[in-house]
């Protein structure tokens, strides 16, 4: 009987060539160095370092595309967050200011809804905007509106939980505000300017008295959307103290005839607080 030769056979392994000594040259950049160089290219427009590091992988033209996309994306995010600011100064001015802002304040998070918190302060110090002194206040209002819009949903505080607190512990109650709540104290009537611009009412905008004094604003999200409410000084201060974490008893001014109890009841009924906690008693602190 004849057997066919198997087509599978072992071959002698070829001897590996001896390794040659590595050529001396520029050290290979680390990932951190590449990231920092890329950041300088995107934010500051300086592509010298990253071009030298990645010359074989990325062409200068592609780096320019990356940078332009970076600027356009962040400028668009600012435009969406501050539409009234853009309408007040015009698209060209806004875009120029946004590019300078991006260079000075690159994003720290990939979540663009959080980008722009420093834009109001930037505009306040931005010398080309000196002729529009109320611009930064309008930006503060728009940032608060954006924050209220994107705040997480929470259940309102159950008033029965407060009622269950013993009388001796009631002075230790500290309320925790609903996440969309924001309180602003502004030098200019930013709310009136904001509404007039959104409505496209030039006559109303021209009639606004910029010298009317400071305004106290409450920004919150309700079932109907984000609301901006103009408050008087004392109601605003009371709510601000509560939102800042002062115990209810400490937030009430005993020398004032303001209706603190009715104001607190209104805040609770409108769901402006999500929870509460008891601050440590003096005995607990000493213990």
Residue closest to 253 by CA, chosen among 271, 273, 235: 235
pLDDT-derived band at 9, boundaries 50, 70, 90: very low
| Domains of the chain, earliest start first | 31-132 (no CATH), 152-287 (3.90.930)
Please report the pLDDT score of residue 57 as a whole number: 54
In degrees to the nearest 10, what's the CA dihedral of 218, 224, 225, 229?
-20
In this structure, of 59-63, 79-83, 231-235, the range with the lowest mean pLDDT score is: 59-63
Residues 287 and 278: their CA atoms lie apart, in Å, by 16
- What is the model's pLDDT at position 34? 46
Q: In the structure, what pLDDT confidence band is assigned to residue 4 with cuts at 50, 70 and 90?
A: very low
**Predicted pLDDT of residue 5:** 41
pLDDT exceeds 60 at position 24: no
pLDDT at position 225: 96
- Per-chain mean pLDDT for the chain: 84
> How does residue 48 score in pLDDT terms, banded at 50, 70 and 90?
low
Residue 216 CA from chain centroid, whole number: 21
Which has more pLDDT, 23 or 221? 221
Structure-block tokens of residue 56: 């074989």
Q: What is the mean pLDDT of residues 159-186?
A: 95
In this model, does residue 188 exceed pLDDT 60? yes
Closest to 220 in 3D by CA, of 161, 157, 141, 160: 141
* For residue 284, pLDDT beyond 70: no
pLDDT band at 3 (very low <50, low <70, confident <90, very high): very low
Mean pLDDT of 63-74: 80
Can you name the residues that pair with 201 across neighbouring β-strands? Answer: none
């Amino acid at each position: 009987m004849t057997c066919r030769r198997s087509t599978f056979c072992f071959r002698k392994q070829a001897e590996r060539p001896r390794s040659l000594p590595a050529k001396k040259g520029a050290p290979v950049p680390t990932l951190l160095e590449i990231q920092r160089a890329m950041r300088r290219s995107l934010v500051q427009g300086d592509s010298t370092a990253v071009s030298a590091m990645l010359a074989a992988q990325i062409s200068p033209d592609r780096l320019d595309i990356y940078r332009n996309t970076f600027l356009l994306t962040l400028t668009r995010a600012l435009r969406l967050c501050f539409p009234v600011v853009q309408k007040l100064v015009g698209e060209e001015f806004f875009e120029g200011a946004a590019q300078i802002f991006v260079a000075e304040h690159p994003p720290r998070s990939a979540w663009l809804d959080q980008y722009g918190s420093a834009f109001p302060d930037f505009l306040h110090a931005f010398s080309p905007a000196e002729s529009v002194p109320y611009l930064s206040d309008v930006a503060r209002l728009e940032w608060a509106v954006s924050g209220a819009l994107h705040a997480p949903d929470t259940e309102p505080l159950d008033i029965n939980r407060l009622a269950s607190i013993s009388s001796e512990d009631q002075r230790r109650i500290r309320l925790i505000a609903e996440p969309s709540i924001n309180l602003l104290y502004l030098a200019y009537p930013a709310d009136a300017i904001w509404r007039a611009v959104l409505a496209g009412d030039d006559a109303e905008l021209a009639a606004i008295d910029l010298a009317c004094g400071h305004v106290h604003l409450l920004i919150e999200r309700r079932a109907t959307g984000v609301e901006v409410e103009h408050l008087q000084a004392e109601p605003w201060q009371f709510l601000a103290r509560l939102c800042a974490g002062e115990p209810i008893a400490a937030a009430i001014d005993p020398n004032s005839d303001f209706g603190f109890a009715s104001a607190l009841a209104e805040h609770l009924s409108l769901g402006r607080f999500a929870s509460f906690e008891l601050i440590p008693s003096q005995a607990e602190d000493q213990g």
